[in-house]
């Protein structure tokens, strides 16, 4: 994992590489630790789980994680009081909590080589009966603009385009920009405030991935959060 992230960084990709300074646990990842060159940043999720930030991972859900070390091991943290699909400003409403969980090692279980699986009650997927406002984005941009996550590619080619092919990140950004504009103009919040609201209340939903070149992402804002 560290090797592939180093390769991405060398290509100019957006990735944070680990630094032993201030790393935890210090006896393993610190400057004089036992394996300082094998530790990873904990910001992104990876095949083992990690910082997944999935709102459906809540009470009553079973998650299947791959085992990479003897005894497997499990840590739980970063619990959220509220989060919209996408967590677009980088944070949810964070909270402390006591967690009760049961664990089991399942031999010959599902193929988890590409990441964890999880399952739970269908009630978690129900859309409540509430008014909402939604904006759908597609991967279009201003000529000359190079999206941040593509600046390590052939920027001259990307910059000259106003429509990118099947770029779900750009589609999601456009959807969120539209929702932020709506919150600002309709409810009088600043753009920074609207950004935070979007992170904890707006759900990003993939509308379609088949209508090339314009995949669609819809940002859904429940309007009852503005009552009273």
Distance CA 107, CA 47 (A): 18
* 122 domain-assigned: no
The domain tally of the chain equals: 1
pTM: 0.72
| Each residue's pLDDT tens digit, 144-196 | 888 877 777 777 877 887 777 788 989 999 999 999 999 999 999 999 999 99
* 39 domain-assigned: no
* 70 domain-assigned: no
Find the domain containing 202 and state its range: 132-226
* 179 domain-assigned: yes
* 160 domain-assigned: yes
| Each residue's pLDDT tens digit, 122-149 | 555 565 667 767 666 667 788 888 887 7
Residues 6+ apart with CB under 8 A from 176: 86, 88, 135, 137, 198, 202, 204, 219
* 172 domain-assigned: yes
pLDDT at 6: 85
* 111 domain-assigned: no
Q: Which residue's structure tokens are 């959807």?
A: 175
Residue 173: both structure tokens together: 């950004």
CATH number at residue 204: 3.10.28.20
* 218 domain-assigned: yes
pLDDT over 90 for what percent of the chain? 28
């Amino acid at each position: 994992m560290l090797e592939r992230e180093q390769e991405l960084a060398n290509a100019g990709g957006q990735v944070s590489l680990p630094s032993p300074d201030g790393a935890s646990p210090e006896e393993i990842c610190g400057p004089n630790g036992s394996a300082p060159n094998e530790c990873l940043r904990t910001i992104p999720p990876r095949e083992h789980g990690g910082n997944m930030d999935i709102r459906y991972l809540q009470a009553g859900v079973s998650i299947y994680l791959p085992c990479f070390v003897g005894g497997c091991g499990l840590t739980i943290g970063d619990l959220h009081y509220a989060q919209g699909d996408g967590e677009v400003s980088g944070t949810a409403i964070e909270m402390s909590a006591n967690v009760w969980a049961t664990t089991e090692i399942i031999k010959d279980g599902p193929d988890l080589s590409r990441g964890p699986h999880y399952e739970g009650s269908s009630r978690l997927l129900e859309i409540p009966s509430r008014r909402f406002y939604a904006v759908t984005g597609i991967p279009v941009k201003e000529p000359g603009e190079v999206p941040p996550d593509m600046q390590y590619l052939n920027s001259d080619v990307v910059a000259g385009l106003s429509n990118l092919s099947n770029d779900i990140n750009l589609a999601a950004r456009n959807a969120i920009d539209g929702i932020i504009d709506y919150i600002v103009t309709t409810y009088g919040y600043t753009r920074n405030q609207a950004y935070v609201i979007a992170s904890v209340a707006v759900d990003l939903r993939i509308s379609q991935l088949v209508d090339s070149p314009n995949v669609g992402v819809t940002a859904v804002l429940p309007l009852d959060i503005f009552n009273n």
